[in-house]
Amino acid sequence: MKTNEVQPNQGKIDIVLEITSKEEPRTFQKFGREGKVANAMGKDDAGEIKLTLWNEQVDMVDQGDKIQIINGWCSEWQGEKQLSTGRFGKLEILEKGTGSQKKAEEPEPSEDSEDVDVDEEEVQ
């Protein structure tokens, strides 16, 4: 599917996009839990569409990434189409772009510092 074929209140959207921009994330409270949301813009050869990224997607996606949304949902807010994974969809990173944020190199430990082993747990 292409961006120009996406309609408001449409589901089962499978689309590949390049992320052209990403806004600063915002936090919100719902049912006593904190969440994160950010808007982004994605494009393909047919046009551009606004994306809504939720929670872990906010940290996964960066400007320049090539993504695929599988079984997505398009809503409409103030006359503008907004694409998201919805309740049943999924977002996959196909290719990390050059605009992706890279981790800064860790500084060399000084001679005075002690080596400390830290077990890192993967947080879900």
Note the pTM of the prediction, 2 decimals.
0.75
| pLDDT given for residue 120 in this prediction | 36
The CATH superfamily holding the domain 3-95 is Nucleic acid-binding proteins (2.40.50.140)
- Residue range 1-15, pLDDT digits in tens: 999 999 999 999 999
Which two three-digit tokens encode residue 79?
A: 């006359």
The pLDDT of residue 100 is above 60: no
List of E strands, the chain: 10-22, 26-30, 33-44, 47-54, 66-77, 80-84, 90-95
The pLDDT of residue 118 is above 60: no
> Domain ranges in the chain?
3-95
